[in-house]
Structures are given as C-alpha cells and as structure tokens.
Chain A
C-alpha cells in the first residue's frame, strides 16, 4: 500500500469518484420515472381522499383524478369536483410543523363554510406522537366540520372526552403532541382563509 505518488493519488481519487458517481447517475435515471410517478400518485391519492372520493387501486386513482377540474388562480391551483350534488374545492397546502414542513390537502365545500376533508402528503413529526396527525381518526374528525363564524377551527381541550360535535368548529388535539397539534390548527386556519379567498376570486372570474 506504500509508494503511491501524488499524481497516482489524484488520478486514482478522480477515477474512483467518476466511476461511482457515473453508476449512481445511471441508477437515478432508471428510477427517476418511477419516483416521479409515486410522488404524483401520492399527491393525487391525497387530493381524492381529502375530497371524500373513494378509490381502491392506482389505476382508479388516475381515472378518477382525470375527472377533477383544475382551476389556475395566479400561482395556485384549485381542484374542483362535485360529489352528491355539492361543490368541493381542494387545494394543496404546506406549513411549519414542530420539526419540519407539513404538506397536505384541505378540501372545503363550495362556499367554504364546511370542511370536506383533510389529507397529509408529507410531514416530519415525531412518530407515535405528532406523527399521529397522519392517523385516520385525526384527519377524519374534520370530515363535515362546520367552520366557526369567524372563519376558524379551534382546538378543544376537555378532560377525558373528545370533541365529536361537527357543528362547533372544534377539533381534538393529540395528547403528548401539543406543539404539533397547535401548528396544525394554525396551518388549517391559514388554509381555510386562503381557499375562501381563492373561491371568491374564481367566483368573480367565471
């Protein structure tokens, strides 16, 4: 192992880096399409389930997603659908959680007075604590929730009983994950205001 000169060291290091990075780029190229498809599918899946549209397979996701109308408002995209005679408006959101950005989809009804559903795309919250925002009971509690007259949702804290009333604009937090729960409420309230605004704008255009 001794006796390698400076030039040999430089050339060897360069070659080794070149070969390995080259193979990595190839692998990246081969998997890129699949990775992009996975990301697109997970976003479409999130939008559909926030809107309360049921699906069972990836093919169905793509088929159902084609039926959803997309409306561009400046940089934002609104996803519009009609389910059981009511208008549904959904938009992607992202906001700060406790450890990182929480991304997801919030769907409201046509006039923004009720939440249709919430779905998350990605988050970095503590598994088992804040990470429980991705559990179905947490997301599901907002299905059909009436937004309070001041346009917000509030976290309800009561000992031992959950908030099962969907007419009071209240939601449960997660025990042991107060900061994540509070962040979610802030994110949701900002998003409700933003989507309501967008609904007014597209209402004026059309």
Chain B
C-alpha cells in the first residue's frame, strides 16, 4: 500500500472499489470477518453496514486531519480513529439492537482490525480531499458488503434452508452442516475469486 492512488472521478472510484479492485475478491482483505459473520444474512447485513459506516467516517476523518498528523505516528492515529468509530457502532448496537449485538459477538469490535479500513485510510484518504475520501470509504465498504452478501445468501440458504429467517427450502430439505461452519466460506470465497478474476480477465481489465 505504498503508492497513494489519486483518482478524482467518483464513478472511477466506485467501479474500482466495487468491481475491478474489490477489497475482498481482488485484494483478499477482510477475510476474517467474511468467514465469521456470513452464516446468517441478517448478521451479515448489520456487520456490513457497520464496516461501511466505519470505513467512510474513518476515511473522512483521516483526510480532514491528514496535514496535522505527524508522519511518525500516522498509523497509530489512523488506528485510533478507526477504533473510535468501531466502538461507537458497538455501543449503539448494544443499546438499541441487543439481539443483533449478541449474535455478532466479538466481530463488531474486530472491525478495528479489518484491513480494508486501514488500507483505504493509508492508500487513499491520506492523500485525497475529505469528501472524495468519504465516498471512497463508502464504496469500499459496499464492495465488501457485495461479496459477503453473496456468501451469506448461499450459506444461509443451504445451511439453514432459510433467508433472513424465513423458510425457503422445502420441508424435507436436509441442511448442509458444512455451510454453517467457517470452512464453507473459504470454499465460497475461493469460487467467487475464481469467477470474478475470470470475468475481469475476459474484460481485459486484469493485468498481471
């Protein structure tokens, strides 16, 4: 992450973050939570919104403060800012959505260690104006959400036979226990990386 990307067109940024350099299936970042929270669609939704919120506002704050932050403590301050927003998300969930907070357990707190956020703060927000950094954070989070939702929909459908808690599969459907366990997310993300990279190669967007 040494090169600071300078892109100014929002549409280019959005396309890159959601598709051509998608944080999960192209950069393979944020995999830990992608394995842990994707067995139920509802948990994945809330978790993704949490990540989008934290990424967007962390990027905004880092960008606003960038000229005041001494280089030596740059990363420490970034982590501080990310932790700040993460703890706010955690507190709000605990107070107003106690059941969801219980289901997500430690993973909300672990948003702090999500490499996507640190990556965007360091690679983009550090060298770009606040508003576009905010937008960059927003779309990076959306790119994360997109992949996680696909994984979660497959896992909940095959692992529980439900979607958002509603029974979808017929009554005699036998749930796949593997889909409930973290390894299935490995397989699914592997398949998504394969399909995604293949599609990008056909488009000619992939240079290696």
Q: For residue B40, which residues in chain A have a CB less than 8 angstroms away from its CB?
A: 127
Contacting residue for A34 out of B76, B95, B180, CB 8 A:
B95
B80 touches A2 (CB 8 A): no
Q: Would you give the shortest CB distance from A173 to chain B, in whole angstroms?
A: 14
Tell yes or no: B5 within 8 A of A by CB.
no
Complex Cα spacing A38 to B103, Å: 15
In the complex, which range does the number of interface residues on chain A fall in?
Answer: 20 to 34
Nearest CB in chain B to that of A21: its residue: B84
Q: Mark A108-135, 1 if CB is under 8 A from B, else 0.
A: 0000000000000010101111000000
Closest to A11 in B: B70
| Chain B residues whose CB sits within 8 angstroms of the CB of A17 once the complex forms | 80
B57 CB contacts on chain A under 8 angstroms:
none
A38 to B98, CA, bound (A): 7
- Assess the B70–A12 pair: CB atoms within 8 A: yes
- Mark B92-104 against chain A: 1 for CB-CB distance below 8 A, else 0: 1011101000110
Q: Are A16 and B88 in contact (CB under 8 A)?
A: no
Decide if B96 touches A34 in the complex (CB within 8 Å). yes
Given the contacts A1-B66, A9-B70, A127-B39, A38 and B95 also touching, CB distance less than 8 Å: yes
Do A13 and B98 have beta carbons less than 8 Å apart? no
Interface string of A1-41 (1 = CB under 8 A from B): 11010001100110011001001100110010011001000
Task: Tell me if A149 counts as interface (CB < 8 A to partner B).
Answer: no
A205 CA to B141 CA in the complex, in Å?
61
Interface: A74 (CB within 8 A): no
Determine if B180 and A12 form an interchain contact, defined as CB atoms under 8 angstroms apart: no
Given contacts A31-B92, A176-B177, contact A128 B160 (CB under 8 A): yes
| Contact status A128-B39, CB under 8 Å | yes
Tally of contact residues, B, Cβ under 8 A: 32
A16 pairs with B77, CB closer than 8 A:
yes
Residue pair A20, B80 in contact (C-beta under 8 Å): yes
Give the residue of B66, B80, B95, B160 whose beta carbon is less than 8 angstroms from that of A16: B80
With contacts A27-B88, A34-B96, A128-B181 taken as known, whether A12 is within 8 angstroms of B39 at the C-beta atoms is no
Given A1-B66, A16-B80, 8 other A-B residues pairs in contact with their CB atoms under 8 A:
A8-B70, A12-B69, A12-B70, A13-B70, A20-B80, A24-B88, A35-B91, A127-B103
Q: A residues near B, CB below 8 A?
A: 1-2, 4, 8-9, 12-13, 16-17, 20, 23-24, 27-28, 31, 34-35, 38, 42, 122, 124, 126-129, 176
22 contacts between A and B (CB under 8 A): A1-B66, A1-B70, A4-B72, A9-B70, A12-B70, A12-B73, A13-B76, A16-B77, A17-B80, A20-B81, A23-B84, A24-B88, A27-B87, A27-B88, A27-B91, A31-B94, A31-B95, A38-B94, A128-B177, A128-B181, A129-B180, A129-B181
